[in-house]
Structure 1
Amino acid sequence: MSDVDRNVGGLDRTGRIVVGLVAVIAGIVALSGYWAVGIAVGIVALVVGAVLLVTGTTQKCPINEAVGVDTTE
């Protein structure tokens, strides 16, 4: 992937990956019944976590692109 295609980097990328992992784990724990927050919260956590992981690892965020934000350094 060329630098032109990327718009997520630095602390933004690291934060997305870390928070994404935590959210995915929380979603799995909630959906498996070990955390009584409800199925809806588990699903939302799982989806949000997955989106953060994908945008962090690919370094490409469509929302950043739409609003003209580039956190690569």
Structure 2
Amino acid sequence: MTKNVGGIDRALRITVGLVLIALAATGTVGWWGWLGLVPLATGAIGWCPPYALLGLSTCKAPAASS
């Protein structure tokens, strides 16, 4: 698995995931808040399956070697 989730994208995914999980755990939102596990996991590992299928990446391009 090649990483395809960049720094800002990872931070946003982790933040949104944690917020959704916290809201679900406190009963503020329904069961769907537990779906926050998905962005949390993809942010933590740095790989997103839909990005891979679509050929997308938010990672910076690797430096070209001379």
| Same fold? TM cut 0.5 | yes
TM-score normalized with structure 2 length: 0.82
Q: Distance in 2 between matches of 1:29 and 1:64?
A: 31
1:68 positional shift:
1.1
Q: Secondary structure at the match of 2:3?
A: coil
Is the counterpart of residue 44 in structure 1 residue 32 in structure 2?
Answer: yes
Which has a greater percent of helix? 1
Q: CA deviation at 1:64?
A: 0.7
Runs (4 or more) in structure 1 with deviation over 6 Å come to: none
Q: CA offsets, 1:31-58, max 9 Å, x none?
A: xxxx3x5xxxx211112x1000000000
**Which runs of 5 or more structure 2 residues have no equivalent in the other structure?**
61-66
Report the residue type matching 1:65 in the other structure.
Answer: A
| Number of the residue aligned with 1:21 | 18
Q: CA RMSD in A?
A: 1.3
Q: TM-score, normalised by structure 1?
A: 0.74
Question: By how many angstroms is 1:29 displaced?
Answer: 1.1
Q: Matched residues, percent identical?
A: 38
